[in-house]
Amino acid sequence: MTSNDAAFEQLITDARLWASQDPDPATSAELTELMELAGSGDAAAIQELGDSFNGTLQFGTAGLRAALGPGPNRMNRVVVRRAAAGLAAFLTETVEAASPGTRPRAVVGFDARYNSDIFAQETAAIFTAAGIETFLMPAALPTPLLAYAVRNLDCDGGVMVTASHNPPQDNGYKVYLGRHAVSESGRGSQIVAPYDAEIAEKIQAVGALESIELADGGWTVLPTSIASDYESAMASLVDREHFPARDLKIVLTPMHGVGGETAVSVLNAAGFTDVTLVAEQAQPDPDFPTVAFPNPEEPGALDLALAAAAESGADIVLANDPDADRAAVAALDPDTGAWRMLRGDEVGALLGAHVVARLTASASDEPHSGVFANSIVSSRLLSRIAAAAGYAHEETLTGFKWISRVPGLIYGYEEALGYCVAPGLVRDKDGISAAVLIAEFAAAAKAEGRTIFDTLDDLYLVHGLHASDQLSIRVADLGLLDAMMNRLRVNPPEAFGGSAVEVFTDLAEGSDALPPTDGLLYLTRDLTRVIIRPSGTEPKLKCYLEVIQAVESAAELPAARQAARTSLDEVLGDVREALGL
């Protein structure tokens, strides 16, 4: 017998054992069929089987996220049961250390993806069996509502079963920590290091599957009032006194996700009553049939919404991703006469400026307090907006788990369409509360006979035109990401877009301001910035580019835009060359 034969026999043995213990008849049957195909020599089945058992799905700062299917390297009931048991042990131990004798509390939510409800119910059963006071969401609801509930119910932990905007075949397990587990600024935020490693260690220590106890009942299914409480809280964010305009025709798409009903309810309660859902994408559908990829950032994802907006004469398009923690905005660009989606950095700046305007309108003469924040890969424009208004600003690592933890946070965003406009209520990105404030500033602009693009131009005239772009390189082999990063470390580029690199920072070394992370930052003489990093959730390398053009008058804006686009194209070419593409 060759080593290959021995490895295959071991693979089949492992698969048979898994199938015999799998509590889910669907994945057990799927695995049995896969083994039969692999045994007959089917190359695709052999590869799929090998990948499904190629190690164990790792728990990290994004929790768990992978394709559904049998085996330790997929999302399934076995993997979720072990994760729930490990998390229960972590919460029990952490709460006991912080407040001896206190019973831990946790809340579990889920979206409408395949198996989300089952994963959530079994998590609730395992938490309850472990002695945790457990609350289960009453239906498939948005991720921000789960983040809201962690704070609102004063819980120690929270779980959201969702894969957000990943492909239909995926699901995930997102973890939040609360009262006794973290400091106040992190209460209700997603986990960060070292909590991820500590939870992973507890998961690793879980014994045999049959040793995991599931309660028959005893958890509390929350009343639907938890959703109405969230809706009321988000609707009350509007400033009717200083921004009373409500004349705004909105087309909204929840992208086949769970945010549609909640978003419409919140917008209506906030006074925006002319809201039309994109009919083909209005109801939750785990197959996401009208989009190639259920992410508003992806080409074509907003085509139906833009067509509906053009046909109905809408003022603005709002889009949420399937779990509604992100928000996208599109409007008719007066420069081109065509509808276009704004970049995340553009919306981030507009929201930041609007938050400043709201604070200014209602502020006393006391010194400004509070902090604006965005991830390091997001535009530098927000820092200039905050500084001009007298507010502090911080940059964080990529990911809302870092942004939401900034002490004194007033507003935070990341370029990937994530915005936190009410950190006291939802300590995470929230596409629904963001949509409310987007509608508020869009209606205010319309009332003055202007557009949101005019508002954006006002910011450029004061702070300079900040233009950004991205390059994403998807790979089949994760080892290629390390190879590309190593290539850049060994042969760092000397210039981008004809401007010499003056600052090169290897983010893996960390600093006083930022913990270590795998990424490279370049800053050139003309303030062009390039950041290159592996994605934390997908097998791809992400490159973030930003150029700044000084603008002294509105008449210069068209030329400045053209110059910025030319510069970005040149920088893109240099990045591709540096990566050997």
Catalytic annotation, residues: 164
**Among 219, 10, 199, which Cα is nearest to 107's?**
219
The tokens of 190 are what?
């997603």
Residues in the chain: 581
2 in helix, strand or coil?
coil
Two tokens at 361?
Answer: 């309108």
Return the amino acid letter for 107.
Answer: V
Q: Is 260 exposed, middle or buried (0-12, 13-18, 19+ CB in 10 A)?
A: buried
d(CA 88, CA 102): 14
Closest residue by Cα to residue 534 from 469, 568, 579, 468? 579
Q: Which two tokens stand for residue 516?
A: 């270590």
Helix, strand, coil tally for the chain in percent (to 5): 40, 20, 40
How far is residue 1's CA from residue 3's CA, in Å, rounded to a whole number?
7
Instruction: Give CA–CA dist 410/390, Å, rounded.
Output: 13
> What is the maximum alpha-carbon separation in the chain?
83
Which residue's entry shows tokens 């910025």?
A: 564
Q: What is the DSSP letter of 75?
A: B
* Under 8 Å between Cβ of 195 and 180: no
In this structure, are residues 534 and 399 in contact, taking their beta carbons and an 8 Å threshold? no
Question: CA-CA distances (angstroms) from residue 168 to 129, 262, 386?
Answer: 31, 22, 39
Instruction: Give all strands of the β-sheet with 540-549 in edge-to-edge order.
Output: 465-474, 540-549, 529-534, 520-524, 499-506, 495-496
Q: Which residue has the tokens 């938490």?
A: 127
Interatomic CA distance for residues 533 and 478, integer angstroms: 13
Contact 87, 126 (CB under 8 A): no
Bridge partners (DSSP) listed for residue 409: 371
What does the alpha-carbon distance between residue 393 and residue 28 come to, in Å, rounded to a whole number? Answer: 52
Tokens matching residue 442: 């869009």
Structure token digits, residue 320? 């949420």
Tokens of 182: 């973290």
Contact, 116 vs 161, CB < 8 A? yes
Q: What is the per-residue burial (b if ≥16 Cβ within 10 Å, else e) of 186-203?
A: bbbbbbbeebbeebbebb
- Distance, CA of 452 to chain centre: 24
